[in-house]
Structure 1
């Protein structure tokens, strides 16, 4: 049994499609899809389409061609291809074996009428480009109409002109399934298994809503809305009941509107945005790298505002500007400096302390956030080691007890003989005092 072992340069690929490209489809890709998944992804889609120029199935090629002509590694190519798959522009099929082979099936982009009525695509585009640009794009694909209310249709039909048709030979319909046909794109592929329809039907049965009132198109719309707005079956039941028309059918327009209102009510009037999920295998080093890159390219004033959730004071701004001008430190170094001081000074920014550290870091010639960060971690490690040593040292020390020398006690009691002062010589008294002190420190030890 052979298993998929990862995309390799020697793996072959075949490009297949179910539609014929036109100027309209190209216009849709450029105007509506590029804002959603980026220029690189659309470039990969258009690059693959060249292999089926005039044909529906291309000749086999290897991924070495992609490496050489697109000037990108295969992991990056896979990332762009996955975006195309997620947005509904490509389906990928794989045959494993000694020689792995991929089939990339290009799917027709959603045409404008379907795109702007699709609950997911239209909302995501609106969030990316904004209201004004969204209306411009929508207007671009609108056609001028004529009011025909004052006219009557005088067109002839087929029977009036050609008469009754003769029965054709059935052989002329052979192999019709192979003829190129234009299929409506399904938009963003969302499987109905992602939504618990069994629970929804059970809840709707309590309100006498039957399965027949949920045709395929309605179920697909419910699935899209549930994914787009993260709606549970219990909440979807309430939205569906609000969307029932007088004849007990579910209005798709009301369903979209009520689902949107439900989401905006829960999210302070905002709409969902199209975001790419992070790879679960992303390493900690990659995460740190992105943090360091952000520190090196973000203004310290902007960084400070994002942490404190408020605009920095004029004094803080002047302090940052002074450090930049005087010490010539980079954004990354200053950002680490400010965060280090804030988190070790109860979120305060003492100017003299910051300027002292900035001067020291300039002498150390720090040029990036990585260097400053490593220095701070080293300091913290040294401080932790010192605290541990001090704690161990204190536990090892025995308590010290101060003892009063016997000769001092005798002096206080007045028991020192007067003759010692009168008869003994100074040298003898000195020797006695030294002996007393020796005895005292010996006892103390």
Structure 2
């Protein structure tokens, strides 16, 4: 399993580079538009790296990551996670070189989107709206906009053109000695200091099944040429943003076709948004990690046991997909999604860990996602700093009896001696085998037979004897 210390060490050096000149106005864009989505730690890392650049230059001096840890007062694990978020948001490119003296990195800062690009992005603006709400979103739009120059019809433009101000020189003056010819090319390996247009967030088109979409549209009158590269980019982004698969996207695409048999991207966005808000009661999607990060996976190439198969399953799917699988393909309810979102954001649990938690709680509460119960266990896992699926499964086994008491309303040992029916215990599949080879027993079990069915029969026999007055 790749841990953060396998990717970066405090002694590894890094150099900060810039993909273009960063302006002071970018600080406001990063603070007010990006920070709600990536968090203060990511913003702090970006600003710290930015500060290491010399003014109006594109390169910093090489330093070690230990220096960065000291300046930011953060451990390397948090810095590594913040770096990944900046990379995913298109604000940072990372390059690594493995040499005899160890690893060295180049962190190339990327300019953020302009306010206009951000608010018209089609993805980031939706996530920001969902995060800050309608009033704050409107306030931010006003903050990053102003009155258009020349909007007052009483003003007439009198700006002079180039030819009105300057004279053209005689052609002879343009002739020069070949020996004094001006070399307009920059030296090899160098580039002019400037700023390219910031790259928008673009979901890989391989993430969306276009073959299935086009197959479903064969009988329609939409020509293939209508699926331009811009349209495909929009469909990929909308599919990721709203969780729309190829079959559901078919009707959305059909509703966005205009009279010229072209797909109107604005109408496509509107139709996708309307579909999502209809499905989720006027809500908009939030920005969540989709699946367990690669550096927190167990690294199982080929599972040999049922437990390893479950680990791979929990690592490869999102919590939302787990709820869909539980309900046989039906979309999860708004309240269930809110519970998952709050657990991931408030307790800072990774998606794979949340999957284990949901699987455990659903089976303990008759497939009901009890908010108070899941939040209590999530808080415990957060304090224990559980970050992998395997750790979550092991802790659930170790603390099983304690979690039972929480589910039953914190029963005390004394109260458990009262004559109450012994309820049948339902356990996840991964409870059947402990890593130490020891079977986890349900509460109240008297025997130690590893077979759960045999144990259940023994419990029923004990109950009969108990009721008969033993």
Q: Structure 2 length as normaliser, TM-score?
A: 0.59
Per the TM alignment, residue 57 of structure 1 is displaced from its structure 2 partner at its CA by 1.8
Q: Please name the residue that 1:17 is paired with.
A: 18
Specify whether residues 47 and 389 from structure 1 end up closer, same or farther in structure 2 by C-alpha distance, changes over 3 A only: closer
Query: What is the CA distance between 1:118 and its match in structure 2?
Result: 0.9
Distance 1:50 1:279 in 2: 29
Question: Residue 217 of structure 1 aligns with which residue?
Answer: 230
1:402-429 per-residue CA deviation (whole Å, 9 max, x = no partner) reads: xxxxxxxxxxxxxxxxxxxxxxxxxxxx
Q: How does 1:190-339 map to 2 (within 5 A)?
A: 190-201=203-214, 206-276=219-289, 277-279=291-293, 281=296, 306=372, 337=405, 339=407
Deviation at 1:11, TM superposition (A): 1.6
The CA deviation string for residues 234-287 of structure 1, in whole angstroms up to 9 with x for no partner, is 433432332233333332221211111122223333211011344473799996
2:159 paired residue number: 155
Aligned-residue offset at 1:72? 2.4
1:407 matched residue in structure 2: none
The 3 A distance-change label for structure 1 pair 267 and 388 is closer
Matched position secondary structure for 2:74: coil
Q: 2: distance between equivalents of 1:19 and 1:5?
A: 30
User: Which structure: larger Rg?
Assistant: 1
Relative to its length, the structure with more helix (as a share) is 1
Among 179, 193, 197, which residue is 1:180 paired with?
Answer: 193
- Would you say 1:129 and 2:142 are equivalent positions? no
- For residue 7 of structure 2, give the secondary structure of its aligned residue in structure 1: coil
The answer to which of 165-174 and 98-107 deviates more is 165-174
Of 37-46 and 52-61, more deviation after overlay is shown by 52-61
CA distance in 2, matches of 1:155, 1:227: 47
| Equivalent in the alignment of 2:319 | none
Structure 2 CA distance for aligned equivalents of residues 71 and 116 of structure 1: 33
Distance 1:94 1:168, change over 3 A: farther
1:44 equivalent to 2:55? Answer no
Flag structure 1 segments of 5+ consecutive residues without an equivalent.
Answer: 292-302, 309-332, 343-352, 361-376, 396-445
Q: Which residue of 2 aligns with 1:117?
A: 120
Tell me if structure 2 keeps the 8 A contact 1:86–1:189: no
Q: For the Cα contact (< 8 Å) 2:113–2:200, is it kept in 1?
A: yes
Structure 2, unaligned runs of 5 or more: 299-310, 312-348, 358-368, 375-400, 419-439, 463-470
Task: Report the 3-state secondary structure (helix = DSSP H, G, I; strand = E; otherwise coil) of the residue aligned with 2:107.
Answer: strand
Change (3 A) 1:199 1:9: same
How far off its partner does 1:213 sit? 3.3
Q: Is the 8 A contact 1:264 1:270 kept in 2?
A: yes
Q: Which aligned pairs between 1:384-399 and structure 2 lie closer than 5 A?
A: 384=447
Alignment of 1:62-81 (within 5 A): 62-81=64-83
Deviates more, 1:197-206 or 1:231-240: 197-206
- The count of corresponding residues between Structure 1 and Structure 2 is 329
Q: Distance in 1 between matches of 2:208 and 2:27?
A: 33
Give the root-mean-square deviation of aligned CA atoms.
4.2
The residue aligned with 1:53 is 54
Q: In 2, distance between residues paired with 1:205 and 1:378?
A: 57
Q: Does 1:340 align with 2:408?
A: yes
8 Å contact kept, 2:14–2:64: yes
Equivalent in the alignment of 1:323: none
Shift of 1:48: 0.9
Contact 1:44 1:80 in 2 (8 A): yes
Equivalent of 2:144, from 141, 144, 156?
Answer: 141
TM-score (norm 1): 0.62
Q: How do 1:369-384 residues align onto structure 2 when only pairs under 5 Å count?
A: 380=443, 383-384=446-447
Structure 1 partner of 2:384: none
CA contact (8 A) 2:97 2:105 kept: yes
- Residues 360-385 of structure 1: per-residue CA shift (max 9 Å, x gap): 9xxxxxxxxxxxxxxxx999266455
Query: Using a 3 Å threshold, how does the CA distance of structure 1 residues 390 and 159 change in structure 2: closer, same or farther?
Result: closer
Supply the distance in 2 between the matched residues of 1:112 and 1:93 (Cα, whole angstroms). Answer: 28
Distance 1:388 1:38, change over 3 A: closer
Q: 1:168 to 1:305 in 2, by over 3 A?
A: farther
Residues 20 and 244 (structure 1), Cα distance of their counterparts in 2 relative to 1, 3 Å cut: same
Q: Distance in 2 between matches of 1:213 and 1:244?
A: 9
What is the CA deviation profile of residues 78-108 of structure 1, one whole-angstrom value per residue up to 9, with x for unaligned ones?
1111111111111111223432221111111
